[in-house]
Structure 1
């Protein structure tokens, strides 16, 4: 991954200068295995993405567990980014008050758990961080003793709602794969906002289930008048429908929950063996209520699962007739940071004819799926193992950025959330 060094000269209130080594462009990342259950969402809405609006600035909550069970010298800083997730030209002194980094001092130790940890929480914005610009943002957690090494990077969005969005989702009848894709068409209402050159001044991004590895961008309008812009009518915005996510739960240890075959204590921790899975490609579509790849930390009979829920080793198995060549098989979803890395790559067991993986997870309810990462294209494909259907319930988000060459930064002037079921269009074209 290409790296860029960003030298931050702190304000007159600080006593030193430091540099932080960040990916370019900035991406969500967890750089240490000692940090688990990293979540970032609006306060009280654990299943919502980190998006806030200028006209209703709600706080975001970043939470995570440190399994070292020691209070580290953790600090955080915040960056404003451009439309391409590169650090913007706006100095940090314009939105960070007094200093450019701040101590993470809201923490609590786990209670009555076999696996000990420290739970950290951070609310943004706060008295030190003034979110005064719309656009893309990133929060970085690091150890003050090693300020050039980020530990956690999480992106978030601040929307300045200027334009309106209305979308319809339909089967992509032009798809040669047999109709396994969904197409999104949408109209951008200008609401009196002047866009002189939408091809250069606007950047529109469409994501599926808050994944950005397969996001569609660099879109140009097919129709433009003084009131609206129309996108996607030539089938350029399409996604594989994939399948509903699988799920399991282990909210308590007395009884196996959904998808769990057994719960056993092998000290120093509990082991959760999930029911064996098989590939679903080629099977008929089956509806199932799920949460689009997310998870919730939950524990029965607990008002404070953030510090009372335990960590357990969860064992996944995917039955297969033979090992697959040309790529890797991964457990995929928010539980693995929507990545395909060594940490969540499954290993082939030739004696049992199955792929296997064990993950240390916190008690709760989880969605997951199996993904294939092609060795040549490096693309993540869910449908290759799970099957792909036009009927699958998916959530799409549209982001509209605005910025001219003479502007200081890129504004996020439009944001819309659309569901493949509730925003469905059945009209034939």
Structure 2
């Protein structure tokens, strides 16, 4: 019986350690989560080892709640790492977030929280995949965010091509790249090298199963077509309400109720249109109040009214509005509902003031379709990022040894 219990405990521990960990989405009172390298303008949670990672978020309850953080390392596939916390952190996490301030001169009261890593309590010492968990004084997780720490130990060259498949030559973009070590060579690269390839600011939309096809000198070559292809999509829509009472080409009208309400011009399906270049920031958003000194605490929250004109039968599909502003989250807050009176699909979302990119996607049978509303056009400007992982013989964790990026604005045949 004792042997049986021991084996059962070991199996349970193995199963738990092999489970993939996903982000915990925030409750409705937590808004505008931004996690990025301090000096970077890109809203992608990629940080070079030794640089400063900054997490910012708002609590619209505005009650100066107590929040704490913990940091855990993960393998390439987001299963828990075999390393002890003391092996990848110097100092102690599980500390109180002390840097917070209440909003100033806003209709929507909120508390703005800010955390920088490294800080006086903790420093990350190894590259790899990480998740930062924010939890409350009852040790309940409020939300969590993934981020990746890397070093430049390999050169990564990236090119964007049109698909060689004639069925998709007008609608897909292909990511081709090569990897070469800066100093040493790779041991058994087909087994020990792994790559993450993603589009724009969305790590959730990624390709992870590519192996090097061949080598030229010490370069690992990845010249896939369909296996490394992404639907090209379309440029993002945007709105700009940095002047909350002013009008512009994206705001149809503004009303002051309990808060400001901004009604956007109705968007329509672009699936059957010809491609039109419309510069965007690839799904990102910038918090900004034109009349403020510190937009972090002086930018107000507004009720943004989205509307979509779509005459095609959507069947069992659900339509959502997504972007970095809501972490591409598909839930009741981002879903559009059909309004019988106007014949439009509508959504109202509470969003912090500034410049915001957004797009519409559909979901059916747990399958996301980025093109049903907007179509796919190979000319669309997208940015692609390749992250390289390496686990040497005998190593106990996946190092991140380099990254490369390229824009499809330079797409070639």
TM-score by shorter chain over 0.5: yes
Q: For the residues of structure 2 that align with 1:250 and 1:22, how far apart are their CA atoms?
A: 46
Q: Is the 8 Å Cα contact of residues 251 and 257 (structure 1) preserved in structure 2?
A: no
Cα 1:194–1:23 change in 2 (3 A) is closer
Tell me the secondary structure at the aligned position of residue 421 of structure 1.
helix
Partner of 1:13: none
Tell me whether 1:79 sits opposite 2:72 in the alignment: yes
Matched, 1:45 2:40: yes
Question: 152, 161, 169: which is aligned to 1:161?
Answer: 152
Taking the aligned partners of 2:203 and 2:19, their CA distance within structure 1 comes to 15
- The match for 2:396 among 408, 412, 419 is 408
Helix, strand or coil: the match of 2:373? helix
Contact kept, 8 Å, 1:323 with 1:348, in 2: the verdict is no
Whole-Å separation in 2 of the counterparts to 1:102 and 1:225: 48
Query: In the alignment, does 2:242 pair up with 1:255?
Result: no
Distance 1:327 1:363 in 2: 30
Of the three residues 287, 292, 297, the one matched with 2:287 is 297
2:322 matched to which residue of 1?
A: 332
Instruction: Report the Cα distance in structure 1 between the residues aligned to 2:93 and 2:51, rounded to whole angstroms.
Output: 22
1:234 to partner: Cα distance? 4.3
Gaps of 5+ in 2: 1-15
- Cα distance in structure 2, aligned partners of 1:259 and 1:23: 47
2:354 to 364, 378, 390: 364
Could you list the per-position Cα deviations for residues 308-344 of structure 1 after superposition, in whole angstroms to 9, with x for gaps in the alignment? 0111100101012265112210001112211222221
Match 2:274 to one of 275, 280, 284:
284
Give the counterpart of 1:265 among 233, 252, 256: 256
Residue 425 (structure 1) aligns with: 412
Q: Contact 1:190–1:229 at 8 Å: present in 2 too?
A: no
Choose which of 236, 257, 264 in structure 2 pairs with 1:245. 236
In structure 2, what is the equivalent of residue 27 of structure 1?
22
Matched, 1:171 2:159: no
Contact 1:328–1:374 at 8 Å: present in 2 too? yes
For structure 1, the 5+ residue unaligned runs are: 1-20
What displacement does 1:365 show?
A: 0.4
Q: C-alpha distance in 2, partners of 1:96/1:207? A: 27
What's the offset of the Cα at 1:194?
Answer: 2.3
Aligned-pair CA distance for 1:135:
1.0
Distance 1:374 1:60 in 2: 36
Residues 37-85 of structure 1 show CA distances to partners (whole Å, capped at 9, x for unaligned) of: 000112243434222223xx32111000001111112100111111111
Q: Aligned Cα RMSD in Å? A: 2.0
Q: Secondary structure at the match of 1:351?
A: coil
CA distance in 2, matches of 1:282, 1:367: 21
Aligned to 2:374: 386
Distance change in 2, residues 1:117/1:139 (3 Å): same
SS of equivalent residue, structure 1 residue 93: helix
TM-score (norm. length: structure 2): 0.92
Contact 1:172 1:235 survives alignment (8 Å) = yes
The residue aligned with 1:8 is none
Aligned length: 398
Distance 1:179 1:85 in 2: 34
Once residues 254 and 18 of structure 2 are traced to their aligned partners in structure 1, the CA distance between those partners, rounded to angstroms, is 40
Give the one of 41, 51, 61 matched to 1:58: 51
1:221 corresponds to which of 208, 212, 226? 212
Under a length normalisation based on structure 1, what TM-score does the superposition of the two structures give? 0.88
* Structure 1 residue aligned with 2:176: 185
Distance in 2, Cα, partners of 1:117 & 1:24: 36
TM-fit CA distance, 1:306: 0.5
Pairwise CA distance, 1:190: 2.6
